[in-house]
């Protein structure tokens, strides 16, 4: 599978590279574009401030430009938190998308979004301040209306970015469970 993996608001941290290596070891080709052009952050607040200074349109433009050379291959879009929201936006706009793997995040869905049984897998903490139960219920229904085939996995007690061993949210058990399920999902595409 060809996977475009987007980083979180912390930037292209070692955990993203390690995730890409894990996916490569499972036989996938993976790209990890650096939407922050080398900047990484120690706190979510610093990352969000930088993200806001760039602006959503510019981030999406950078993501589209990163994915464009590979989209004809039929990409699986994937991402962590902010990167998941970017991956979702790109996957819903790419008729050749093969799948969508969301780790720790989702995004708004355009009312006109339409896909043909796009396989989608979401992994989130439970509870998660950024992905509340009400939001996830509405998101799930909207994705279904758009034509996506969605699976959601919740991890009780884990922190928001629980797959990143360099952050306080890290939860090894939840992270390993996530990767087992996610790799199985990718094998079905």
Residue 105: which pLDDT band, with cuts at 50, 70 and 90?
A: very high
Q: What is the pLDDT of residue 182?
A: 98
What is the pLDDT at residue 122?
98
Under the banding of pLDDT at 50, 70 and 90, the label for residue 115 is very high
C-alpha span between 47 and 130 (Å, rounded): 15
Residue 106 DSSP SS3 = coil
pLDDT band at 135 (very low <50, low <70, confident <90, very high): very high
Percent with pLDDT over 70 in the chain: 100
Whole-angstrom Cα distance, residue 14 to residue 43?
15
pLDDT of residue 174: 98
Rounded Cα distance, 162 and 109, in Å: 25
pLDDT at 79: 98
Residue 28 main-chain phi, psi, to 5 deg:
-100, 150
CB–CB of 182/101 below 8 Å? yes
Residues 6+ apart with CB under 8 A from 83: 5, 6, 7, 8, 16, 35, 103, 105
Q: What pLDDT is recorded for position 29? A: 98
Nearest CA among 187, 6, 7, 8 for reference residue 98: 187
What pLDDT sits at residue 143?
97
pTM: 0.97
Dihedral sign (CA 72, 77, 82, 86): positive
- The pLDDT assigned to 178 comes to 98
pLDDT category at 3 given cuts 50, 70, 90 is very high
In tens, the pLDDT along 11-30 reads 999 999 999 999 999 999 99
Please return the burial class of 140, using the count of CB atoms within 10 Å of its CB with bins 0-12, 13-18 and 19+.
Answer: middle
Quick one: what percent of the chain has pLDDT higher than 90?
99
Region 127-132 average pLDDT:
95
- Give the mean model confidence (pLDDT) for residues 71-99: 97
Give the chain's radius of gyration (CA, Å).
15
Please give the mean pLDDT across all residues of the chain.
96
């Amino acid at each position: 599978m060809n996977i475009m993996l987007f980083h979180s608001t912390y930037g292209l941290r070692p955990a993203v590279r390690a995730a890409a290596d894990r996916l490569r070891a499972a036989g996938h080709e993976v790209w990890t574009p650096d939407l922050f052009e080398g900047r990484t952050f120690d706190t979510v607040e610093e990352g969000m401030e930088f993200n806001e200074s760039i602006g959503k349109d510019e981030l999406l433009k950078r993501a589209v430009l990163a994915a464009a050379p590979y989209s004809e291959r039929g990409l699986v879009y994937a991402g962590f938190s902010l990167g998941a929201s970017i991956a979702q936006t790109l996957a819903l706009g790419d008729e050749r998308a093969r799948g969508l793997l969301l780790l720790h995040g989702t995004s708004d869905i355009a009312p006109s979004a339409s896909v043909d049984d796009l396989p989608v897998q979401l992994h989130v903490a439970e509870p998660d301040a950024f992905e509340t139960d009400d939001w996830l219920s509405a998101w799930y229904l909207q994705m279904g209306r758009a034509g996506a085939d969605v699976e959601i996995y919740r991890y009780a007690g884990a922190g928001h970015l629980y797959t990143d061993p360099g952050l306080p949210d890290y939860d090894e058990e939840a992270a390993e469970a996530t990767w087992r399920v996610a790799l199985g999902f990718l094998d079905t595409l």
